[in-house]
Amino acid sequence: MKYFFKIILIFVLFSGFNESKANELLKSLKLAYLNNSKLNAERANMRASREEKREAVSEFLPNVTISGYKSSQDSFNSNLDDVNIDPKERSILVEQKIFQGFSGVANLQKKRKGQQLGQFKLKKVEQEILLEAAKAHTELLLNKKKVDYNLINLDLLERQVETDQNRLEKGEISLTDLAQSESSLAGAQADLIAAQNDLVTSKANFEKIVGEKLTNDIKGTEETNLNLPKSLAEAYKIANLENPNLQIATLEYMQAKLDVTIAGSELSPTATLSYERAEQDNISSTIQERTQETVKATAKWPLFAGGKNAFNYRKFKEIKNQKELLLEDQKKTTETEVANAWSSYQSSKSVLDSIRSQVKAAEIANEGITLEYESGSSRSTLEVIQSRSILLNARIDLASSERNFLISQFNLLSSIGRLTAKQLNLI
Task: Give the pLDDT confidence of 153-188 residue by residue, as tens digits.
Answer: 999 889 889 888 988 888 877 888 889 889 999 999
Q: What would you measure as the largest C-alpha separation in the chain, in angstroms? A: 143
User: Domain 2-416: which CATH class?
Assistant: mainly alpha
pLDDT mean over 211-231: 77
Q: pLDDT at residue 400 above 90?
A: yes
Query: For residue 87, is pLDDT > 80?
Result: no
Sign of CA dihedral 329, 334, 337, 343: negative
Listed by start position, the domains of the chain span 2-416
**75-100: average pLDDT:** 71
Q: What is the pLDDT of residue 223?
A: 62
pLDDT at residue 384 above 50?
Answer: yes
pLDDT at 347 over 90: yes
Lowest mean pLDDT among 77-81, 147-151, 167-171, 368-372: 77-81
> Mean pLDDT over all residues of the chain?
84
Q: Is the pLDDT of residue 140 over 80?
A: yes
pLDDT of residue 2: 46
